[in-house]
Amino acid sequence: MKRVYFLLSTVLLVSLALLLAWVVVLTEGQFAAEESVEWAQFLGRFHPVILHLPIGLFVGLFVVELAALLNRNDGLRRSAHILVWLMALTSVLSAYLGLLLASNGDYSGDTLWLHKWLGILFSAGALVLAFFKVRIVCREGVGNGLYRFLLVGLLVVMTVVGHYGGNLTHGSGYLTAYAPDWLAAKLDKPNEAVETVVSEDGAIESNVYTRQIQPLLEQYCVQCHGIEKQKSKYRLDTYEYLMTPGKMGDTPITPSMVSESKLIEYLWLPESDDMAMPPEGKPRMSAEQIMLITHWVANGAEGPPVDEAAVAAERAALEAERTELNQLIKNGIMVLPVSRGSELFYVDFQNVKGTVADEDFALLANYKDRIQELKLAGAAVTNAQLELLRGASELQTLNLSGYSSADDAVDVIASFSALKNLIFYGSDLGDAGLSKLSTLNLDSLYLGATNITPKQFSAYQNSNGAVRVFGDVDLNAVSAIEVIDLENTADFNPNKK
Partner 1 sequence: MGFGMLAATSLFQRDLLGASLSSPLAPQIPHFPPTAKSVIFLYMDGGVSQVDSFDPKPQLTKENGQAPKFKVDATVFNNNGNLLKSPWEFKNYGESGIPISDLFPHIGSCADDLCVIRSMTALSPNHPNANYALHCGHVLAGRPSMGSWFSYGLGTMNQNLPSYVVVNGGLMPPGGMQTFGNGFLPANHQASLVAPKHPVMNNIQPRESLTELQRKKLDYLNSIDRSLFQNFHHADEVETAIQNYELAYRMQMEVPEVTDISKETAATKRLYGMDSPFEQTRQYGSQCLIARRLVEQGVRFVELTVSGISGADRWDQHGNLKAGHEMNAFAVDQPIAGLIKDLKSRGLLDSTLLVFSGEFGRTPFAQGQNGRDHNPQGFSMWMAGGGIKGGTIYGATDEYGYRAVENKMDVHDLHANMMHLMGIDHKQLTYRFSGRDVRLTDVHGHIIPEILA
Partner 2 sequence: MLRPTFATLLLLLPLSMNAEDVAALTPDQLTFFEAKIRPVLIESCYECHAEDSEKLKGGLLLDSKAGWMRGGDTGQVIVPGDAENSLFMHMIRHDPSYEAMPPKSKLKDEQIADFAKWINEGAFDPRNQEIGELKNVDEFDLEERKQWWSFQPIKDYDAPVVSDPSWPSNAYDNFILAELDQKSWKPAPESSKRHLLRRLSFDLIGLAPTPEEMDAYLADESPDAYAKQIDRLLASPHFGEKWARHWMDAVRYAETKSFEFDYLMPHAHQYRNYLIRAFNEDLPYDQFVRESFAGDLVDEPRYDESGTINESLKGPGFFYLTDGQHGPPDLHEDEARIFSGMIDATSKAFLGMTVACARCHDHKFDAITTGDYYSWYGMLRSSRLDVSNTVAEAKQLLPQSKLKQGKPAVYAAAMADAAVDIANMSEYALATRKISESAEFQKLKNTWAEQAKDRKAPAPKLDKDVVAVIQEEASQRKLDATVLESWLRYFTIPKHRKKWPQLDPIYHAIVGDSEKAPKLARPLAPIAPYYPTDLGQWMTTGLGFSEMEQGAGSDMILSVANDQNVVQTLVDLSNPSAGTYSGRISGSLRSPDFVLDGRPVELYARGKNARVNLIVRNYEQAGFGPTTKILSVAVNEGAWERISIKTELWVGLSAYIEVLQDGEARRLRASHRQNADDNFVSISTNPTLPDWSQLWKDRNVADVVKQVVQDGRNRKLTPEGAVLLSGLFESGLVRAGTDRNEKLKSLMARYREINNEIPQPVYARSLTEGTPQDEPIYIRGSHKNLSKEPNPRRFMDALGGELLPSNESGRREFADHLVDESNPLVSRVMVNRLWHHVFGRGIVSSIDDLGELGTLPTHPELLDYLAKDFMAQGWSIKQMIRKMVLTSTYQMSTLPNDQALALDPDNLYLQRMPVKRLEAEQIRDHVLLVSGKLNGEIYGPSVRSYIDDLPRARGFPGSGPVDGKGRRSIYMELRRNFMPSFLRILGMPNGVEPTGARNVTNVPAQSLALMNAEFTQQQAKAWAAELLKSESDEVARINHMHEVALSRPADETEIAWAQGLVRDVTRIYQENGDVNEVAVWQELCHVMMNRKEFIYLF
Look at the alpha carbons of 39, 42, 45, 49 in this order and tell me if their dihedral is positive or negative.
negative
Q: Which does 336 bind (CB under 5 to 8 A by kind): partner 1, partner 2, none?
A: partner 1
Peptide bond into 278 cis (omega under 30): yes
- Among 133, 53, 156, smallest CA distance to 95 is for 53
Q: Which is nearer to partner 2, 39 or 178 (CB)?
A: 39
Q: Which stretch binds partner 1 (CB under 8 A): 267-275, 278-286, 404-412, 466-474?
A: 466-474
What amino acid is encoded at 484 in this protein? I
Q: Which stretch binds partner 2 (CB under 8 A): 31-39, 132-140, 196-204, 425-433?
A: 31-39
**Strand segments (E) across 58-141:** none
- Among 275, 276, 302, smallest CA distance to 290 is for 276
Of 157, 160, 216, 334, which lies in the binding site for partner 1, with binding defined by CB under 8 A? 334
Judge whether 442 and 467 are in contact, CB under 8 Å.
yes
Segment holding 12, helix H or strand E: helix 2-28
Query: Could you give the dihedral angle defined by the CA atoms of residues 287, 291, 292 and 296, in that order, rounded to the nearest 10 degrees?
Result: 160
Per CB under 8 A, contacts with partner 2 among 258-317 are 274
Q: Which is nearer to partner 1, 32 or 449 (CB)?
A: 449
Residue 39 touches partner 2, criterion: CB under 8 A: yes
Q: What is the DSSP letter of 341?
A: T
Contacts of 235 (CB under 8 A, 6+ apart): 225, 226, 227, 241, 244
CB of 357 to partner 1, least distance (A): 18
Q: Which is nearer to partner 2, 226 or 337 (CB)?
A: 226
Phi-psi region of 72 (alpha: psi -120 to 50; beta: other; left: phi over 0): left
Contacts of 73 (CB under 8 A, 6+ apart): 67
Phi-psi region of 34 (alpha: psi -120 to 50; beta: other; left: phi over 0): beta
Residue 35 touches partner 2, criterion: CB under 8 A: no
Per CB under 8 A, contacts with partner 1 among 299-328 are 310-311, 314-315, 317-318, 321-322, 325-326
Distances (CA, A) of 493 to 437, 477, 479: 49, 22, 17
Residue 228 touches partner 2, criterion: CB under 8 A: no
Of 72, 186, 340, 455, which lies in the binding site for partner 1, with binding defined by CB under 8 A? 340
CB of 378 to partner 1, least distance (A): 9
CB of 36 to partner 2, least distance (A): 12
CB of 479 to partner 1, least distance (A): 8
Residue 37 touches partner 2, criterion: CB under 8 A: yes
What amino acid is encoded at 465 in this protein? G
Give the integer Cα–Cα distance in Å for 284 and 366: 53
CB of 333 to partner 1, least distance (A): 11
Residue 26 touches partner 2, criterion: CB under 8 A: yes
Q: Which does 38 bind (CB under 5 to 8 A by kind): partner 2, partner 1, none?
A: partner 2
Q: Which stretch binds partner 2 (CB under 8 A): 30-38, 141-149, 254-262, 489-497?
A: 30-38
Residue 18 touches partner 2, criterion: CB under 8 A: no
Q: Which residues bind partner 2 (CB under 8 A)?
A: 26, 31, 37-39, 274
